[in-house]
Amino acid sequence: MMAKLSTDEVRRIANLARLGLSDDELGAMSTQLGAILEFVDVLQTTDTTDVEVTSQVTGLIDVLRPDEVRPCEISRNDLLANAPAVEKGFVKVKRILE
């Protein structure tokens, strides 16, 4: 038995998600979302009391190196000479916000 959502409920959800759905799509989504909710109900009845909490299961560890400050062999003026535009000793970029 599939828990079917009404088309009004699906229309409201679609509106909140800013989705424009046709009447056919509303009917299909009603069935599909109902099936998802039914599956969630099944998952909620699953006994997990003896299951260990895990955040990841692959056994991989962080492979990033720690951040460290290292001196740069290139002078500031040489670096700025490569910039397309410089203002007051800094690289000048186009404004992206008003």
Domain 7-44: homologous superfamily in CATH = Glu-tRNAGln amidotransferase C subunit, N-terminal domain (1.10.20.60)
pLDDT at 2: 53
- pLDDT one-digit tens code per residue, 9-58: 999 999 999 999 998 999 899 989 999 999 998 999 999 899 888 888 88
Which of the 8 DSSP states describes residue 13?
Answer: H
The helix (H) or strand (E) run that includes residue 42 is: helix 23-44
pLDDT at 1: 47
pLDDT at 3: 59
Domain boundaries, the chain: 7-44
Pick the more confident residue, 83 or 54: 83
CA distance linking residue 94 with residue 90, whole number of Å: 13
24 bridge partner residues: none
CA distance linking residue 20 with residue 28, whole number of Å: 14
